[in-house]
Amino acid sequence: RKEVEQDPGPFNVPEGATVAFNCTYSNSASQSFFWYRQDCRKEPKLLMSVYSSGNEDGRFTAQLNRASQYISLLIRDSKLSDSATYLCVVNKGGATNKLIFGTGTLLAVQP
Amino acid sequence: DGGITQSPKYLFRKEGQNVTLSCEQNLNHDAMYWYRQDPGQGLRLIYYSQIVNDFQKGDIAEGYSVSREKKESFPLTVTSAQKNPTAFYLCASSTAGDPPTQYFGPGTRLLVL
């Protein structure tokens, strides 16, 4: 079983749609969680950290369920510019700050 | 501008050749990391360094070497022992905050001729 699992997609949605991505992780000791966005042939860029209480940044909402070891990202009112691969990332904890990356979910927003 | 730079953007390696990828940051971060990304796979950790003059092997260190002589610099050498070096190489550095957060350079694409 992979340490971080995501549905690879692609998710093809029309502009204005709401889309949700899910991610599960296997290590219950994981301490911090992130969503990164990666455009084609570019580096990953931090989209948002994910907190147990849930957090929102504009059209983006992230949720964490520690009991189920489940992370989600909701994008409302999708824009063409949201088209990218979304990476679920988990910090294993401890002193090394090692991140474990999911393989990513590809989103294509259609006009 | 603060950030992480990597050079070159594209690099071609001949069989049996060692090549060195550059990574520089001016963010004053102590920790730096090297990852490799292959199509359809998540990023995999090659080496990391938490402080100057110290570094640790990651999950796929075989065929690679690093040095950390300066806080700002963390070069990666891909040696001839790495039999499948074609990949996208990403360097990152990390804040010391809570949670510590990694930021990436623009990457280097290595191709074997």
Question: Which tens digit of pLDDT belongs to each residue from B2-24?
Answer: 699 999 999 998 888 999 999 99
Quote the CA–CA distance of B3 and B24 in Å, as a whole number.
Answer: 8
CB contact under 8 A, B99 and A45: no
**Rounded to the nearest 5°, which phi and psi values hold at A20?**
-125, 135
The pLDDT value recorded for residue B95 is 84
Alpha-carbon distances of B75 from A86, B5, B19, B29, B101, rounded to whole Å: 28, 11, 10, 15, 21
Mutation choice for B interface testing from A43, A45, A49, A64 by most B CBs within 10 A: A43
**Rounded to the nearest 5°, which phi and psi values hold at B93?**
-130, 160
Euclidean distance between the first and the last CA atom of chain B, given in angstroms as a whole number: 35
The pLDDT value recorded for residue A79 is 98
- HSE-CB at B36 with a 13 A cutoff on CA atoms is 21
Q: Which chain B residue has the Cα nearest residue A97?
A: B100
Of the pLDDT bands very low, low, confident and very high (cuts 50, 70, 90), residue B99 is: confident
Alpha-carbon distances of B62 from A65, B37, B66, B85, rounded to whole Å: 36, 15, 11, 11
Chain A, chain B: beta-carbon pairs less than 8 Å apart: 52
CB contacts, 8 Å: B88 with chain A: 41
CB contact under 8 A, B100 and A97: yes
Quote the CA–CA distance of B37 and B48 in Å, as a whole number.
Answer: 15
Radius of gyration of chain A (CA): 14
Residue B105 CB: number of other CB atoms within 10 A? 23
Q: Which chain A residue has the Cα nearest residue B93?
A: A97
Mutation choice for A interface testing from B23, B102, B103, B109 by most A CBs within 10 A: B102
A57 has a pLDDT exceeding 90: yes
B26 has a pLDDT exceeding 90: yes
Detail the DSSP E strand segments found in A15-98. 19-25, 32-38, 44-50, 55-57, 60-65, 70-75, 84-91
CB contact under 8 A, A98 and B45: yes
Burial of B94 (0-12, 13-18, 19+ CB in 10 A): buried
* Distance between B44 CA and the closest CA of chain A, angstroms: 8
- Taking a C-beta distance cutoff of 8 angstroms, is the pair A22, A7 a contact? yes
The pLDDT value recorded for residue A93 is 74
CB contacts, 8 Å: A91 with chain B: 99-100
Q: Nearest by CB to A97, from B40, B94, B106: name it.
A: B94
% residues pLDDT > 70 (chain A): 98
